Structure 1
């Protein structure tokens, strides 16, 4: 039952080793007039790495992250790192937020103060939350699993234990995106009595629609989704194929090369965000590099890829979700779900089409995201206003 306080403290040895590596890079060639269509563009990455080498300050970023109240506890043999910030309203609602890949618990750092202390950001103090943001097993400052089958289903069971047995909440709210969407849906499917509701920014790749061969059973919107998803998988899904089949092979290169790691992650931030091809529109260099650094200093790119394998090979069916569900869909996100499918498979009580934003929702549009979270969960509070 022990919960220990945690502070991020990366050793000088790790930082000095990183500095050596980014001082001794062997760059690949790039075809003339090539842009991003073949992967991360060379000149962009050289510029980012130059900033990393000469200007980026991990210690400053580390201090910012350590302003949050952080803890670790052991659940099912895994040390789980989590942020736990108490709400500053009269009756905060406990809310667990689950991230995905290739981000980390940093996905939610901008919205934590918006949700815990809405009054300080132009909101109603009665909308406050106790916010819990765990790092998935094998991600960031959670420990790396030693055994297979740590998938979305198992993580949902761990989160149920975290919220009830470890933190003492008898009932709570949950939200997530990317892998976090899957974890949150399994929480709702397996522990509906524990949840007020769930809030999602996506529902992942709907593989049963992609696999369907009978057009007569699908609506026009679902058929369009099937075609779009099939094309996306062919053009953009290479990372998923290798992480779902040969994560160990990938891990050698990305664990050994910070530039390889940066190229792997940065390309996804560009492709999946609402940045119109210009990362600087949505993310500062410090933001991108801090995400990359969390993977580098913890040496977790391999363990995060293994979760793709376990999700592809060992997930059980999920079934209909009876827990009230809010969907906030951002227009530049990956493969927006057909509304008919969502209504058949989830108890959707709120559907929000956002005016802007992409896959990294809470990073890109924190105010929009926080406002929708507050609005969706407001009816579930013990007080009404």
Structure 2
């Protein structure tokens, strides 16, 4: 059987069955599904056991390459690391725990702009909670944000006060996880941004904030650029702040410009290393995502492709499989990779890079001219830690900036309480 034939009923089948049964549900808005004329259907996850057996069989049957010829990470994901991951995946990992965790949350699916969008929606018990839409990136998923849901929606149980509460919406990007897979080009960040606004409006939220990193930052910043009614402010943990002269010098591969502050020079060094050594995955997905058949056929191939995103994330994950967890566990990492595998979204998610390249919305780290309030959290092991001086120029209405001591690209996943604290502080002045 193919992975698709082993997965759950299609989103279209789920919507049709739910609507026919009259079980339309819209938990968490001031309106109703019938009033809006748009269907919001409950969603749950239940992969057949054959799909999990097939996954374990494929992992166990991996054809391994020769070991790398160097003693460092310069040739990519090291054989020892990925074999440790594979051994845990085949022998000890239990997807059903993650499935149960997901199904314990309110999940829904709704059609926007012709595509089924899956999302988690957890309302706080505090009625005056601030609605927030949080967007993941690649190689992330909704798994990234699961650890921040309870601290945001139930702050009094997690070191905060009632006034810190959020209603939380976490959608799966188009082509990712349980959202629909686009069948035509054009689902680029501006289009996703418009869809997210529609989602928040459909849920009845007239005032809300948005947060994102990686592709989630691009989508969130473009929401801000579109300035829809109701969007009060945004928060980013991977800000787009690189000045034009810095971007030009990086593209040319030249030395750092003179006169940079220590923080700016550090950001330059991080970006320079990433552009020279870390962009291989993005170049391939920008140009030829459909060629990546190997990561659809091999779970271990998929895992290695996803691990090799940026060097500091990879090194942190390698330490986890060496028995030194710091923020993430072995199961955390395999939860995310398994989600990609079981939903057969390796290539459909990669196409977001192609869509962005062919329907461009600006450079990934280029300032976009956002006029609404912006909050920035700079984690030290991100692709680059945005200096405050760059953030102040990029965001004229910078309402919060903090440079943290720990955390990397998957900030909410690695350091959930730090991210929670950042969001509470960032948006506190906007609450009424």
Instruction: Identify the TM-score tier after normalising by the shorter chain.
Output: over 0.9
Alignment gaps of 5+ in structure 1: none
1:277-316 → structure 2 map (5 Å cutoff): 278-279=319-320, 280-316=325-361
Which residue is equivalent to 2:260?
220
| 1:20/1:215 CA distance change after superposition, 3 Å | closer
Match among 183, 197, 208 for residue 172 of structure 1: 208
- Whether 1:128 aligns to 2:168 is no
Equivalence for 2:131? 94
**Deviation digits for residues 311-367 of structure 1, max 9, x if unmatched?**
223123574111111101111111222433322221211110111111110111111
Count of residues paired in the alignment: 380
SS of aligned partner of 2:316: coil
Cα 1:243–1:348 shift into 2, 3 Å: same
Query: Is residue 288 of structure 2 the alignment partner of residue 246 of structure 1?
Result: yes
Q: Normalised by the size of structure 1, how large is the TM-score?
A: 0.92
TM-score (norm 2): 0.83
Alignment pair present for 1:16 and 2:53: yes
Shift in alpha-carbon separation, 1:262–1:113, aligned structure 2, 3 A: same
More off after superposition, 256-265 vs 339-348: 339-348
1:258 aligns with 2:307: no
CA RMSD of aligned residues (A): 2.3
- 1:331 aligns with 380
Q: How far is 1:297 from its partner?
A: 0.4
Cα distance in 2 between the residues matched to 1:52 and 1:277: 15
Q: Structure 1 residue 75: deviation in Å? A: 0.5
- Contact kept in structure 2, 1:3 and 1:73, CA below 8 Å: yes
Residue correspondence of structure 1 range 17-36 to structure 2 within 5 A: 17-32=54-69, 34-36=71-73
Q: Give yes or no for the alignment of 1:345 onto 2:394.
A: yes
Deviating more after overlay: 220-229 vs 262-271 = 220-229
Aligned twin of 2:227: 191
- Which stretch shifts more, 31-40 or 129-138? 31-40
Distance 2:315 2:126 in 1: 33
Distance 1:274 1:172 in 2: 36
Shift of 1:258: 0.4
Query: Structure 1 residues 227 and 64 mapped into 2: Cα distance closer, same or farther (>3 Å)?
Result: closer
CA separation in 2, counterparts of 1:52 and 1:276? Answer: 14
Show CA shifts across 1:115-146 (max 9, x none).
00001112101211100000000011101111
Indicate the larger mover: 317-326 or 343-352: 317-326
Aligned partner of residue 94 in structure 1, secondary structure: strand
Q: CA deviation at 1:34?
A: 3.1
Structure 2 unaligned spans of 5+: 1-37
2:22 equivalent in structure 1: none
